[in-house]
Structure 1
């Protein structure tokens, strides 16, 4: 019997801001993984980090909505803003499962984060409850991952996934310096608005 349950890949990130590489990876998941939808789970930023680089949560959420309008298989999730601190991925996934019991979830994760997963809160439970689709990150080749080292994990390695070779930090720095890298963002027409937001954080 074929299951009618929707399959969702969860893609967590601060998306500060969302850019083309994020969207390329989400599109790869839709095209190539057992995935009917990709949910962009927007994370509040670390309060200990430099506030002059942290775009407001509401602004980032609106930016993502603009970027994904017209693509019904991409969905913004702002749940973490409502959850009590501290935010942990395993807790957010548990909350999503309670809210959306009709969906089957998997997790998109970079090879850099997988390398450090033993530092995550309750990581062993996380590995047991959700399949992980691992995409390559510069400096962290998938060939270095030994699935036997994480026997409880449901690991799926995807060397064919697009390389995430663009960092949001680069785009923020370019915007502040006056360089035009709007074509690399998720919403090029909002480049000047992005720049204005960043400049307002500097004052």
Structure 2
């Protein structure tokens, strides 16, 4: 099975994340997409970052209706700070029957050369890169690499930061979240302060 790994804090997961993941699961050669929830770094305490367990629970609620979308807490158990290359090694050991690929936005590809062991990653893994709106065009040496696939996924201009701020400001942003995610966040009073 070919699995795309979509890394992020997902604080919270929203329809933009789901649209990209579902697009890749349905319109590329990926069989599944796994949301890899990045743990809260002990070095960067952010008041707005929900605990790992809550962000994972919200993501689980978000994907429950999508059989090709899954969540993973694999990074919760790895030493911090963690690097993608270490997660890839660990996840392959745990699931040797799967072929893993990375999903990232164009903006992340620009800084990819700064990632730890990026040469190893691009040599051994396929990267599925989706478009992002930015003021500039992304010209990256990596776009020409045979393991990099540009995906024409829909561009969704919603951020988790915007979602959190809007909830705090008592705005009705239910349309930007799956209904079950909105209900969970509202019930738990997350992001209101």
What is the TM-score normalised by the length of structure 2?
Answer: 0.91
Deviations along 1:105-151, one digit per CA (max 9) or x if unpaired, are 11111100000011111111111110001101111766623447x75
Query: C-alpha displacement at 1:192, in angstroms?
Result: 1.7
Quote the Cα distance in structure 1 between the aligned partners of 2:68 and 2:138: 31
Equivalences for residues 16-165 of structure 1 within 5 A: 16-49=11-44, 51-139=46-134, 144-147=139-142, 151=145, 154-158=147-151, 160-165=152-157
**Structure 1 residue runs of 4 or more that deviate by more than 3 Å after TM superposition:** 46-50, 140-143, 145-148
Q: Which whole-Å CA distance do the structure 1 matches of 2:119 and 2:28 have between them?
A: 24
Aligned-partner Cα distance in 2 for 1:141–1:73: 33
- Cα–Cα, structure 1 residues 138 and 144, in superposed 2: closer, same or farther, change >3 Å? same
In 2: Cα distance, 1:132 partner to 1:140 partner: 23
* Inter-partner Cα distance in structure 1 for 2:21 and 2:70: 11
Which of 185, 189, 198 pairs up with 2:177? Answer: 185
Q: State how far apart, in whole Å, the 2-side matches of 1:140 and 1:93 are.
A: 32
Contact map agreement 1:175 1:191 (CA 8 A) in 2:
no
SS in 1 for 2:5: strand
Distance 1:198 1:161 in 2: 29
What are the Cα deviations for residues 38-91 of structure 1, in whole angstroms up to 9, with x where unaligned? Answer: 111110133444521111111111111111113221111001000011211111
RMSD after superposition: 1.9
1-side partners of 2:62 and 2:70: how far apart?
Answer: 11
The residue number in structure 2 matching 1:10 is 5
Distance 2:61 2:139 in 1: 37
Spell out, residue by residue over 1:17-53, the C-alpha distance to the aligned partner (whole angstroms, 9 max, x if none).
0000000001110111111111111101334445211
The alignment covers a number of residue pairs equal to 191
Structure 2 segments unaligned to the other structure (5+ residues): none
